[in-house]
Amino acid sequence: MTMPPPGRRDQLVFMPIGGVGEIGMNLGLYGYGPERDRTWLVVDLGIAFAGPDLPGADVILPDVSYLEEERGNIAGILITHAHEDHFGALLDLWPRLRVPVYATAFTKGLFEAKRASDPGGDVPITLVKPGEPFDLGPFNVEYINVAHSIPESNALAIRTPLGTVIHTGDWKLDDTPVLGLPTDAARLKAIGDEGVLALVCDSTNAMREGRSPSETEVAASLAEIVGAAKQRIAFTTFASNVGRTRSIALAAAAARREVVVVGRAMSRAIDVAGELGYLDGLPPFLDQDDFAHLPRHRVVLLLTGSQGEPRAALARIVEEDHKAVDLDPGDTVVFSSRAIPGNEVPINRLINGLIRRGVKVITDHDGLVHVSGHPRRDELREMYSWVRPQVAVPVHGEPMHLAAHAELARGLGVPEVRVIADGAMLRLAPGRPEVVDHVEVERLYRDGTLIGGLEAMGIAERRRLAFAGHVGVSVILSAKGELDADPEIMATGIPIRDGAGRPLEEAIHAAVLGTLESLPRARRRDPEVVREAVRRAVRSAVAEAWGKKPVCSVFVAVL
């Protein structure tokens, strides 16, 4: 940790670019130094998943324009763990930044496996180990092991001359995890004893009282379900939840069943976990080519697609579109996962499709088949009792989660509690914490191989097309402004007939001809005037017949 020269008016600030006021797309900045010469530390670089309101978009990425401007002052990117909402944007956005990246072995391994199947250039990652502090400019950083639903999740202790910040990342308290170590309470207590300026903390389950069940309890429940199954049983879960994968494999072995893995993301996570020893002692996993050779009562399927992704293994099986795997009446599918907010509709569609095929479906409404990796209120209370921060900053949650977390922190006697939004620059020290600046942050969207803003990627226009369709009109005029041929009309995504049964294209055709006849001949010689007049007339005619105005493109040629 480099000490600043005496007399400088240094500040310690925190500014989220993503992950505050929303679930996903986590990106936090810590800045240290004078106002116009700060050194920055980036924590996580995640994505959010696009819903039906963003037609065509694959994922949502944080806007890193501010980071690009400050690239020369960025000391490094710290990745807390390998969930997509914390490291999923690294492949796409690192080339814009090209600064050092730090992560643990599992995160590095999963990223490199992902990069190998989706090449995007080399991203050098420096390995770190929990409990081994290192310096990055004015910051001293220590990774601290926390329990979560993926191996090697970490909180961060970020030390500066103005105080220490604990950035929790995603965490929970689980004294009996299936794999990995429990949250390192002793280390957090020790840092709390040293004195903690601020706790920047996960809010996902801040509205839920009590304490999350242990992964060991889930493992016991899954073993009972597998033991009672008569035919095939399939589990769909987050591919990165290696602890859950281990529990399912142990349950299968106890029931003398084989585990068949279906889905690229699942295979990738299992390969990385196996290389690092997290799956030691388990029978070999089989791939989808082995499925056809196994009796129904000997199969446990491990599938991607727990969030209803249309091209994932489970969706393709439900649509009878999978080349190697199928499910029959009497088989069982267990959703060992929770619905990420916004994914409820596609998940329910999958469940309904399975039930129509006579497949039994078990979700977390039916039994203990999933447990969250985030802290409930009793776990938050325990964290605060260890760390005893002067300032609480709720993150990783929608406004209702942040508000519940803030209320709890105030009730615990934290002197300063600040709820902020993406783009707000919060000065943590010196003095009382307050917002001192605000950066406009947008969203980026990956669509196929391209990345850009909402308008630049055409997504806003697609929304309009999805809502009201499109009408294309081609008009050919002579040099004298006279109609040279009958207008051509192509209507897409609009009703065929109006309420009286008349073809809607007839109304459009009449609107085009009427507009051209009403324009003085001199004005008909101006293509722009004709184009705008026809566009307005067509939209009005369709609105009168249908109640909606379509997107309208008018092509005018003058011969």
Backbone angles phi, psi at 318, to 5 degrees: -60, -35
Query: On the CB side of 177, how many CA atoms lie within 13 Å of its CA?
Result: 26
User: Does the pLDDT value for residue 5 go beyond 90?
Assistant: no
Structure tokens at 346: 């596609």
Q: Are strands 551-558 and 470-477 parallel, antiparallel or unpaired?
A: parallel
Residue 2 has pLDDT above 60, yes or no: no
- DSSP, collapsed to helix, strand or coil, labels residue 454 as coil
Q: Would you state the pLDDT for residue 341?
A: 77
What percent of the chain lies above the pLDDT cut of 90? 87
Question: Per-residue pLDDT averaged across 426-448, rounded?
Answer: 95
- pLDDT for 522 equals 83
- Spatial separation of the C-alpha atoms in residues 130 and 150, rounded to whole Å: 15
Per-residue pLDDT, averaged over 38-42, amounts to: 98
The domain defined by 11-210+372-452 carries CATH number 3.60.15.10: yes
Percentage of the chain beyond pLDDT 70 is 98
Mean pLDDT of 353-360: 97
Predicted confidence band of residue 6 (pLDDT cuts 50, 70, 90)? low
Distance CA 364, CA 335 (A): 7
Q: What is the mean pLDDT of residues 342-361?
A: 94
Whether the pLDDT of residue 199 is over 70: the answer is yes
The pLDDT tens digits of the residues spanning 77-105 come to 999 999 999 999 999 999 999 999 999 99
**Right CATH number for 215-362 from 3.40.309.10, 3.40.50.10710, 3.20.20.60, 3.40.1190.20?**
3.40.50.10710
Outline which parts of the chain fall under CATH 3.10.20.580.
469-558
Which one, of 400, 382, 445, lies nearest residue 206 by Cα? 400
Looking at the predicted structure, is the pLDDT value of residue 311 above 60? yes
pLDDT tens digits, 47-73: 998 877 888 888 999 999 999 999 999
Average pLDDT of the chain, as a whole number:
94
- State which CATH number among 3.30.2320.30, 3.10.20.580, 3.40.50.620, 3.40.50.10090 fits the domain covering 469-558: 3.10.20.580
Q: Where along the chain do the CATH 3.60.15.10 domains lie?
A: 11-210+372-452
| pLDDT above 70: residue 3 | no
Whether residue 470 is predicted with pLDDT greater than 60 in this model: the reply is yes
- For the chain, where do the domains classified as CATH 3.40.50.10710 start and end? 215-362
Among 12-26, 406-420, 473-487, name the one with the lowest average pLDDT.
473-487
pLDDT higher for 340 or 501?
501
For the cut 80, the answer to whether the pLDDT of residue 4 exceeds it is no
C-beta of residue 134 within 8 angstroms of C-beta of residue 143: no
Q: Where are the alpha helices (DSSP H) in 7-64?
A: none
